[in-house]
């Protein structure tokens, strides 16, 4: 292994000079600098990250806690992870992956041993057991998700309550009076996963405000479960004419499931999803959706953490506003619904 000493000797300077050339933390004459850089190039020197870390007490590694839990839609999680890794690199940070089956213990160990400078926490629950620990930790952290109490934390999240409300409002505006909610797998709600909980609550509240009745059905992502859930949604006495889908895995089955019940999208049922844009575009017909900005969430989380690492004070809560994009699954619903309910003369 070739060290900073080798470079210094080769360039005929002190090790500190080499160091300063690298960090730029003090002026170096052009001559010396280029001589050092040349030596570095010739010898193929790479600074030893661990040694630097030990010297400055900073590792430039952040931990990413991704509890891969039951009912999670892995592709979506993975895109957050990917966004995190990418954003991290822009800050010169590396990512240590913790698929924390050990949850709190894992965090404590990694934190105590000073392996990382900070933590990024995914899959947050309303009363997440990791939260109290995060508050105590020497290292800063950022949560992607919003627990019930956010005091003393830094959180980034889509405003899921507002997202659900946007869906409801869009459908209510189109004249729908009874809306079904096709939710995440049951396990997700049972854990009180923050985003799922908030979405459901936001949905209920918005429906209430708009004087709309609703049916809520959680579902697993497989074919059969979605078909059963769809049946459940249309079993009641109410005329369900619209659906809000908050389940990425189920997305692909929705149209077929409704079809099996003799209902077409969007002619008989309007559908709005909460999911990444790409997924909404892949269904047939493409679904109107409130975008879940996974990439942005990951990026923002890293930016915030990087800020905290640099000693900056950052926004404690970043709530991204929902954006609803209309696509074919609600196409023409508005006019048609009105036509159904109101005499043509009245609308003209």
Partner DNA sequence: CTGAAAGCGCTAACAT
Partner DNA sequence: ATGTTAGCGCTTTCAG
Write out the residues near DNA by the rule CB under 7 A: 1, 3-5, 12-17, 19-20, 22-23, 25-29, 31-33, 45, 47-48, 51-52, 54-57
Report the residue number, 8 or 84, with the smaller CB distance to a second copy. Answer: 84
H/E stretch holding 181 reads: strand 178-183
Report the residue number, 46 or 323, with the smaller CB distance to a second copy. Answer: 46
**DSSP per position, 70-105:** TT--HHHHHHHHHHHHHHHHHTT-EEEEE--SSHHH
Residue from 122, 131, 132 nearest 195 by CA: 122
State how far the Cα of 99 lies from the Cα of 77, in Å rounded to an integer.
12
Judge contact between 318 and 104, C-beta under 8 A: no
* Shortest distance (Å) from residue 110 CB to DNA: 14
**DSSP per position, 24-62:** --S---HHHHHHHHHHHHHHT----HHHHHHHHT---EE
Angle, alpha carbons 238-240-243 (nearest 5°): 150
State how far the Cα of 337 lies from the Cα of 340, in Å rounded to an integer.
5
State how far the Cα of 306 lies from the Cα of 62, in Å rounded to an integer.
9
> Where does this chain bind a second copy (CB under 8 A)?
1, 44, 46-51, 53-54, 59, 61, 64, 68, 74-75, 77-79, 81-82, 85-86, 94-99, 101, 109-110, 112-115, 138, 222-224, 252-253, 256, 282-284
Residue 15 interface partner, choices DNA, a second copy, none, CB cut-off 5-8 Å depending on type: DNA
Report the residue number, 39 or 219, with the smaller CB distance to DNA. Answer: 39
Report the residue number, 26 or 323, with the smaller CB distance to DNA. Answer: 26
Residue 98 interface partner, choices a second copy, DNA, none, CB cut-off 5-8 Å depending on type: a second copy
* Shortest distance (Å) from residue 314 CB to DNA: 22
* Shortest distance (Å) from residue 8 CB to DNA: 7
Residue 224 interface partner, choices DNA, a second copy, none, CB cut-off 5-8 Å depending on type: a second copy
Q: Give the list of residues 6+ apart from residue 161 with CB closer than 8 angstroms, or none.
A: 198, 199, 201, 202, 205
Judge contact between 17 and 37, C-beta under 8 A: no
State how far the Cα of 265 lies from the Cα of 199, in Å rounded to an integer.
23
Residue 261 interface partner, choices a second copy, DNA, none, CB cut-off 5-8 Å depending on type: none
* Shortest distance (Å) from residue 62 CB to a second copy: 11
- H helical segments located in 95-193: 103-112, 130-136, 160-173, 186-190
Residue 190 interface partner, choices DNA, a second copy, none, CB cut-off 5-8 Å depending on type: none
Report the residue number, 20 or 160, with the smaller CB distance to DNA. Answer: 20
Residue 138 interface partner, choices a second copy, DNA, none, CB cut-off 5-8 Å depending on type: a second copy
Residue 22 interface partner, choices a second copy, DNA, none, CB cut-off 5-8 Å depending on type: DNA
* Shortest distance (Å) from residue 85 CB to a second copy: 5
Report the residue number, 34 or 224, with the smaller CB distance to a second copy. Answer: 224
Report the residue number, 216 or 251, with the smaller CB distance to a second copy. Answer: 251
DSSP letter at 211?
T
């Amino acid at each position: 292994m070739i060290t900073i000493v080798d470079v210094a000797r080769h360039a005929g300077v002190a090790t500190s000079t080499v160091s300063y050339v690298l960090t730029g933390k003090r002026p170096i004459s052009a001559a010396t600098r280029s001589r050092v850089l040349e030596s570095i190039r010739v010898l193929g020197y790479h600074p030893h990250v661990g040694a630097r870390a030990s010297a400055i007490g900073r590792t430039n590694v952040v931990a990413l806690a991704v509890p891969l839990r039951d009912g999670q839609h892995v592709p979506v999680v993975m895109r957050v992870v990917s966004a995190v890794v990418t954003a991290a690199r822009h800050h010169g940070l590396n990512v240590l992956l913790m698929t924390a089956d050990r949850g709190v213990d894992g965090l404590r160990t990694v934190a105590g041993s000073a392996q990382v400078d900070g933590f990024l926490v995914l899959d947050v629950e309303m009363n997440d057991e990791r939260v109290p620990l995060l508050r105590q930790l020497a290292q800063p952290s950022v949560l992607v998700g919003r627990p019930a109490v956010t005091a003393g934390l830094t959180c980034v999240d889509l405003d899921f309550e507002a997202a659900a409300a946007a869906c409801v409002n869009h459908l209510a505006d189109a004249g729908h009076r009874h809306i079904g909610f096709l939710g995440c797998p049951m396990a997700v709600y049972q854990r009180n996963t923050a985003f799922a909980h908030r979405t459901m609550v936001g949905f209920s509240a918005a429906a209430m405000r708009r004087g709309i009745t609703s049916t809520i059905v959680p579902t697993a992502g497989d074919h059969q479960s979605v078909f059963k859930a769809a049946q459940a949604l249309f079993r009641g006495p109410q005329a369900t004419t619209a659906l809000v889908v908050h389940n990425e895995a189920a997305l692909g089955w929705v149209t077929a499931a409704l079809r099996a019940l003799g209902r077409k999208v969007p002619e008989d049922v309007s559908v709005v999803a909460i999911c990444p844009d790409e997924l909404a575009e892949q269904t047939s017909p493409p679904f109107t959706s409130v975008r879940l900005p996974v990439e942005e969430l990951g990026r923002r989380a890293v930016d915030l953490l990087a800020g905290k690492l640099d000693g900056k004070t950052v926004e404690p809560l970043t709530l991204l506003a929902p954006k609803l994009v209309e696509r074919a699954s609600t196409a023409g619903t508005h006019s048609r619904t009105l036509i159904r309910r109101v005499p043509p003369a009245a609308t003209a």
